[in-house]
A = this chain, B = another copy of it.
Amino acid sequence: MSTIGDVAKRAGVSAMTVSRVINNSGYISQETRERVEQAIAELGYVPNALARSLRFKQTKTLALVLTDITNPFFTTIARGVEDTASEQGFSVIFCNTDESKDDESEYLNVLVQKQVDGVLLVPAASSPASVAFLHERGVPFVVLDRRIPGVSVDTVRCDTDQGAYQLVCHLLDLGHRRIAILSGPAAVTTAADRVSGYRRALAEAGIREEAVYYGGFTVEGGYQMARQALAVTPRPTALFAANNFIAIGALRALHEAGLRVPEDMSVVAFDDLPPAFVIAPFLTVVGQPAYDMGCQATLLLLDRLAGKGDGEPQEIILPTELIVRRSSAPPCDPTP
């Protein structure tokens, strides 16, 4: 790999002159410019962004730290982030934490070392450790999708409490009274908030019975929780899955138990599956504007980098959308 010095030597000028040609700054005679440009072409010279960044203290790189890159919800966020960032000349480094707090802090450490200009963080845990780490080192960041209780930071997320409330109200309207919620890890705010929306809806309807399960935001977690829920007598008439993977796990358990949806059991879920993965959409869901979440979070972060805004932490809460499909219906008969 050739350096600016090699180009300079070949063109018979100083490195500074080459720099001026590259950056179109200062005065350059037409003749010199051509000689330099030819040397650049001949050597296939590409400026070293490391050296540039070292001087300018700017890497034009953001990082997106998320918990599960195989989940289309997050992939969609990622696209929003990438599209917005690259429009403004920023690259994005993706990091997958698998919901592990340790992986998260290790990644953050590497990212700070690599001098990323800013971080978009879907925190694996509700602890303020990661946020404090970034704050202490002066790295701008935006928290995505989840809350971190007790600290006031820039956040972009959905109103998941309200979304859960809508879904449960929909089930109540259909006549369901025994509704189980299959939620995510209790320590994750989105899981907790969905439970709280669920409770609020039940309370308003004057229903005391609740059935709350916590597990992983995974197919396996959904499968296990559904089996537990089905073992209770009397059996619930509806299941509320707190994300798309949990829903798939639950549907698998129902299939195995020979229960039809929605005839024997209604199922509703948080997070839609992207249309690309589904032949004929079937699940009643509350969809989140994932792509838009990615865009907005990136815009907010880029604003911070540019020193815009009054410095007050901003919380952008996007609305969810209830999409009623065929997986929810009135309860049929109150068996077992």
Q: Which residues of A contact B (CB under 8 A)?
A: 1, 44, 46-51, 53-54, 59, 61, 69-70, 72, 75-76, 78-79, 82, 91-96, 109-110, 112-115, 133, 136-139, 218-219, 245, 248, 251-252, 255, 273-280
Contact = CB atoms under 8 A, between A and B. Distances in A.
Contacts of A1: 137-139
Given A47-B113, A70-B72, A91-B110, 12 more contacts: A1-B138, A44-B137, A46-B113, A49-B114, A50-B59, A51-B54, A69-B78, A72-B277, A75-B75, A79-B96, A91-B93, A93-B94
Nearest to A283: B279
A252 B280 contact: yes
A89 to B, nearest CB: 9
Given A48-B115, A49-B113, A79-B70, A255 B277 contact: no
A279 to B, nearest CB: 4
B110 A82 contact: no
A40 B176 CA distance: 59
A277 B248 contact: yes
B115 A276 contact: no
A219 B276 contact: yes
A239 to B, nearest CB: 14
A105 B72 CA distance: 27
Nearest to A49: B113
A79 B75 contact: no
Of A76, A91, A109, A136, most B-chain CB atoms within 10 Å: A91
Given A49-B115, A54-B50, A93-B91, A248 B109 contact: no
Closest 9 CB pairs of A and B: A49-B113, A251-B279, A44-B136, A49-B114, A46-B112, A50-B54, A219-B276, A94-B94, A277-B277
A114 B93 contact: no
Nearest to A220: B276
A265 to B, nearest CB: 14
Contacts of A276: 70, 218-219, 245, 248
A1 B27 CA distance: 35
A46 B79 contact: no
Nearest to A245: B276
8 contacts: A1-B137, A51-B54, A72-B277, A75-B75, A91-B95, A91-B114, A219-B275, A219-B276
Contacts of A76: 70
A22 to B, nearest CB: 11
A47 B236 CA distance: 55
Contacts of A279: 248, 251-252, 255
Nearest to A89: B110
B53 A50 contact: yes
A81 B228 CA distance: 36
